[in-house]
Structure 1
């Protein structure tokens, strides 16, 4: 048997990668959130679906999910010599771009339909990430299960926003929201 690294070396590598990737993942998620906000007049004017959770839940849930994503990625990145490691990192990077794009598309561009497409991409590519992570480190794939559940919920929630606001929550050029009910 040819061993590339001892278990102690792999644990040390995982620790180092975790100390880098967990904060980086959280920081990237936070930075993405700065390109749009639920505090806009547009979002405040939208009819909220019945499944819309309290606004504080989003910050809590996403913080936990980004930490789990960071640990899962650290497990894969630190798996030196594991078959499929490089592919798993590439698939993750392509997936994570979609994750980071959703907030700017939904809140920044105020485009719920495009945001729904982004969420579809996120969920489908997350399944691919989980598959390639599973081949490298099974625990890494399992750490992404809460993310998958939340991603599916977010997709349904995004769809419900479209259903509740068929006009797209359009604003006029001054930014003032007009809403008329007959």
Structure 2
């Protein structure tokens, strides 16, 4: 398979994860929650996630045919599964504490994936860094929203 073929496969997996955001929208429940001052404006989320999903698909495609990429690709699969799970847990089930568990596991999976990618391909590894930074912000938001809205 070519780089563009792998990219299409990994982008399709990313689009499946992104689709949960169309099904489980933040809505009125989320709008009514107390949020920290560092919460980005709503328009930032789809812009950042679009960039991240495309860049991660490209990073995964770069390592796909590299010798010894099995662990890196397994970690990609794990992180995309956890990424897909967070939205229905947090927005769908409104389980902020469980969302915190999912995002903590996701952060660990992405950190491990980033290291695995970095060992195989410098550019692929570096492409994971913005995702880890964004997940750090998302985890901080999840934690503060959970902490500040426990009575709900």
- Please say whether Structure 1 and Structure 2 have the same fold, judged by a TM-score greater than 0.5: yes
The size of the alignment, in residue pairs, is 152
Contact kept in structure 2, 1:25 and 1:67, CA below 8 Å: no
**Cα offset, 1:69, TM superposition:** 0.8
**Residue 14 of structure 1: aligned partner:** 3
**Cα offset, 1:21, TM superposition:** 2.5
Distance 1:16 1:42 in 2: 40
Counterpart mapping for 1:90-169 below 5 A: 90-167=74-151, 169=152
Counterpart mapping for 1:80-95 below 5 A: 82=67, 84-95=68-79
One of 60, 65, 77 as aligned partner of 2:52: 65
SS in 2 for 1:55: coil
Q: Residue by residue, what CA displacement relative to the aligned partner does 1:123-151 show, whole Å, maximum 9, x if unpaired?
A: 11111111111222121111011000000
In the alignment, structure 1 segments of 5+ residues that lack a partner are 1-11, 170-182
Instruction: Give the number of the structure whose residues are more often helix, by fraction.
Output: 2
Distance 2:9 2:77 in 1: 16
After alignment, is 55-64 or 86-95 more displaced?
Answer: 86-95
Distance 2:133 2:144 in 1: 17
Contact kept in structure 2, 1:48 and 1:161, CA below 8 Å: yes
Structure with greater Cα Rg: 1
SS in 2 for 1:54: coil
**Residue 178 of structure 1: aligned partner:** none
Distance 1:25 1:54 in 2: 26
TM-score, with length taken from structure 1: 0.78
SS in 1 for 2:43: helix
**Cα offset, 1:26, TM superposition:** 4.0
Deviating above 3 A after TM superposition, structure 1's stretches of 4 or more consecutive aligned residues are: none
